[in-house]
Amino acid sequence: MRKPIVAANWKMNLTKKSAEDLIAKLNEFVYEDVEVIIMPPFTLLDMAASIADNRIKLGAQNCYYKKSGAFTGEISPDMLVDIGCKYVIVGHSERRHIFGNDLLRKKLAASKRAGLIPVYCIGETLDEKRKGKKESVLSEQLNIIDNLSMSLIVAYEPVWAIGTGVAAEVVTIRETIKLIRQKLREKGVKASVLYGGSVKPDNAKEIASETLIDGALVGGSGLNASSFLQIIDIFKEVRKC
Ligand code: 13P
C-alpha cells in the first residue's frame, strides 16, 4: 500500500518560540512509514528547516510564479527550494477566493520548474454545493493542471468543511475522490489525493480507513503536537500492510 501523507498547514499561526516547541515535540515521534509534512508561514521556514528531523518534510503555503525580480513581497519557488522546501500549497481556498484562479496555472508550472511538489487545493463552497455545482467547480479547478506531467498532490478541501469542526462524511469524500481520480486519469495526470477540512484525531480513523484517500491536509489540529501526532499515528496503524 502507498505511504500515506499527513500534512499540516499552519496558515498564519505561531511565532518562533511556539513553532520551535511544536517541532521539538514532532521530532520525538515522527515515523518512517508516513510522509509527514509541515507547512509553516514563510517567516518560520528557515528555522523549521534547521531544527526539524529530516523525516519531517517542509512545505510552503504559497509562492509566486517568477524566478526572481522586482516583485516586492513575493517569494519564488526557487527560494523555497533553496531553504529546504519540498512541497508548496497552490490554490488554497483562503487565497483562491481573494486572488482568483488565473495565476494558479503559472504557479503550478513554476513549482514544477523549480522541483517543488505542489499540493494543489480544490473544493466547492457551500453555495456551490447547494446549487449542485460541485462537479463543474471541481472540473474547472482541475482543468488548470492540464498538460502538466509532474509530481503532484491534489487536496480535496470542501470549503464548507474548513475550520468548521465538521468534516465531510467519508462516503462523500470517497465519491468525490473517485470523481477527481477519474478526471485526473482523463488528463493523464498521476497524483496522490488527500482530504482536508476539519480532520482531527476523532475522525482520522474513519478517514484513514478509506483507502482511496491518500492522506490528510490538516489545519487547526496540526498546530497541536498531540493532535497532529495522533492523526499521524492513526494513518500509520490503519494503513499498515
Ligand atoms: P482545518 O483542518 O482547520 O479545517 O483546515 C483545513 C485546511 O484548510 C488545510 O489546508
pLDDT of residue 148: 61
Q: Which amino acid is it at 87?
A: Y
pLDDT at 146 over 80: no
Query: pLDDT tens digits, residue range 198-226?
Result: 999 999 999 999 999 999 999 999 999 99
Q: Considering only CA atoms, give the Rg of the chain.
A: 17
SS3 of residue 72 by DSSP: coil
- Dist. CA 220 → ligand 1 center (Å): 6
**What's the one-letter identity of residue 124?**
E
103: domain CATH number?
A: 3.20.20.70
Q: Which of 47-61, 138-152, 167-181 has the lowest mean pLDDT?
A: 138-152
Q: Specify the DSSP class assigned to residue 241.
A: -
Say if residues 171 and 177 touch (Cβ distance below 8 Å): no
Q: What is the tens place of the pLDDT at every residue in 3-17?
A: 999 999 999 999 999
Buried b (16+ CB within 10 A) or exposed e, 140-153: ebbebbeebebebb
Residue located via cell numbers 514544477: 112
The CA 197 to ligand 1 mean position distance, Å, reads: 5
Task: Tell me what pLDDT residue 107 has.
Answer: 94
Q: What confidence tens digit (pLDDT) does each residue in 101-141 have?
A: 778 999 999 999 999 999 999 999 999 999 999 999 999 99
Pocket test for ligand 1, best of 218, 221, 228 (most atoms within 8 A of CB): 218
State the closest ligand 1 atom to the C-alpha of 167, by its place in the atom list counted from 1.
4
Q: Looking at ligand 1, which atom is closest to the CA of residue 121? A: 10
pLDDT tens-digit series, residues 35-66? 999 999 999 999 999 999 999 999 999 999 99
Q: How far apart are CA 203 and CA 182, in angstroms?
A: 26
Which pLDDT tens digit goes with each residue over 151-165? 899 999 999 999 999
The response to whether residue 157 sits with its C-beta less than 6 Å from ligand 1 reads yes
The pTM for the full model equals: 0.96
In whole angstroms, how far apart are CA 198 and each of 67, 77, 165?
34, 28, 5
In contact, 37 and 59? CB cutoff 8 Å: yes
Q: Is the CB of 220 under 6 A from ligand 1?
A: yes
Q: State residue 241's pLDDT score.
A: 55
Per the structure, the count of domains in the chain is 1
Residue in 38, 217, 228 to alter for ligand 1 test, most ligand atoms within 8 A of Cβ: 217
> What domain range includes position 85?
5-240
Confidence of residue 100 (pLDDT cuts 50, 70, 90): confident
Give, rounded to a whole angstrom, the gap between the first and last alpha carbons of the chain.
6
3 state DSSP class of 193: strand
pLDDT tier at 2 (50, 70, 90 boundaries)? confident
175 Cβ contact partners less than 8 Å away, ≥ 6 residues apart: none
